[in-house]
Amino acid sequence: MEEVSNEMSLPWLKEEVARLKKEKNALIMAHYYQREEIQEIADFIGDSLALAREAAKTDARIIVMCGVHFMGETAKILCPDKKVLIPDVNAGCSLADSCKPEEFKKFVEEHPGYTVISYVNTSADVKALTDIVVTSGNARKIVEQLPEDEKIIFGPDHNLGEYINSVTGRRMLLWKGACHVHDRFSLEKILEMKREHPDAKILVHPECKRPLQMIADKVGSTAALLDFAQKDEASEYIVVTESGILFEMRNKCPQKTFLAAPAEDAECQCNECDYMKMNTLRKVYRCLRDETPEIIVDPEVAEKAVKPIERMLQMSR
Ligand code: 13P
Ligand code: SF4
């Protein structure tokens, strides 16, 4: 098998990916947090809700999911007959890892009579223990469709759970999970940035801590933040989420200024998800060429996990 040499340029890789994609009837999907070179060649870019919706309706033979592992699993669960590939099988998610299936099962068993809502950032095993899956793009809409007195467990993202409780007036029981990127943005640094850019609006992902949600002009999923920026009249924004989203924001609104919220720690790129950035164009090329690594989900787990995902798709139409 031909090895990819260091000389292989970005234009060459882009051409080869385009050729292979056609030849193999493959669809390349990318999350907004992917590297620019991947967003440039993707057939579809979206937030986790849009990626799940698009996977459910594609007729492609192969799906290349440029995102993290749970996104590949969600696509595979929705499309068991398709081959779902992921450029780097080690692209995990600290939030999904903060909810171990055995611990979550125990928590659910300790609270009989509760409806279990899980964020899409979970493993297939956790989804199999769930009644309804949600994403940050539809969590509010779905929770509001349930009776007001319904007892709800919400996991794993504690910050998103607090946000949904605050906007719906519910008192869902929250699992204490968090994303290592969103949970680390600092209120002080963002307020400092706002003092330097007083006219900038603050856009915050609901995986960020509650004080950040409270100073935001808009709290929303990556797609909702993008949509807000396109329709809003301001010309400058402080973007408090993973910095990959800036690529699409600048593409869609070239006349506006988007400032990446500073990382908590000057020593590290904390506003970048190291898991998302594990995928590279070279790895996309290799995985399409060799049709590996492939996402495999135990069919028994998939049979249980598909129900709460389908329920989400129905409730968020
Ligand atoms: P959304 O794509 O739903 O905004 O979620 C952000 C995220 O952290 C994905 O891992
Ligand atoms: Fe997971 Fe956070 Fe990375 Fe999203 S940004 S994939 S929630 S670790």
317 residues of the chain, pLDDT tens digit each: 455 555 579 999 999 999 999 999 999 999 999 999 999 999 999 998 899 999 999 999 999 999 999 999 999 999 999 999 999 999 999 999 999 999 999 999 999 999 999 999 999 999 999 999 999 999 999 999 999 999 999 999 999 999 999 999 999 999 999 999 999 999 999 999 999 999 999 999 999 999 999 999 999 999 999 999 999 999 999 999 999 999 999 999 999 999 999 877 656 566 899 999 999 999 999 999 999 999 999 999 999 999 999 999 999 98
Q: How far is residue 277 from each of residues 30, 62, 87, 233, measured CA to CA in Å?
A: 12, 22, 11, 32
Whether ligand 1 lies within 6 angstroms of the CB of 94 is answered as no
Shortest-distance Cα residue to atom 5 of ligand 2? 273
pTM of the model: 0.93
Which atom of ligand 1 is found nearest the CA of 48? Answer: 2
d(CA 253, CA 245): 12
Other C-beta atoms closer than 10 Å to the C-beta of 235 total 12
Whether ligand 2 lies within 6 angstroms of the CB of 285 is answered as no
Between CA 316 and CA 182, with CA 122 as vertex, the angle to 5 degrees is 90
Shortest-distance Cα residue to atom 6 of ligand 2? 93
Residues in the chain: 317
Other C-beta atoms closer than 10 Å to the C-beta of 114 total 17
- Both tokens of residue 207? 């995986």
Q: How far is residue 90 from each of residues 6, 145, 236, 278, measured CA to CA in Å?
A: 22, 36, 36, 8
- Kindly calculate the radius of gyration of the chain based on its CA atoms and give it in whole angstroms: 20
Whether ligand 1 lies within 6 angstroms of the CB of 135 is answered as yes
CA of 21 to the centre of ligand 2 (A): 27
Whether ligand 1 lies within 6 angstroms of the CB of 47 is answered as yes
Shortest-distance Cα residue to atom 2 of ligand 2? 179
Q: Which DSSP string do the residues of 41-106 spell out, in sequence order?
A: H-SEEE-HHHHHHHHHH---SEEEEES-HHHHHHHHHH-TTSEEE-S-TT---HHHHTS-HHHHHH
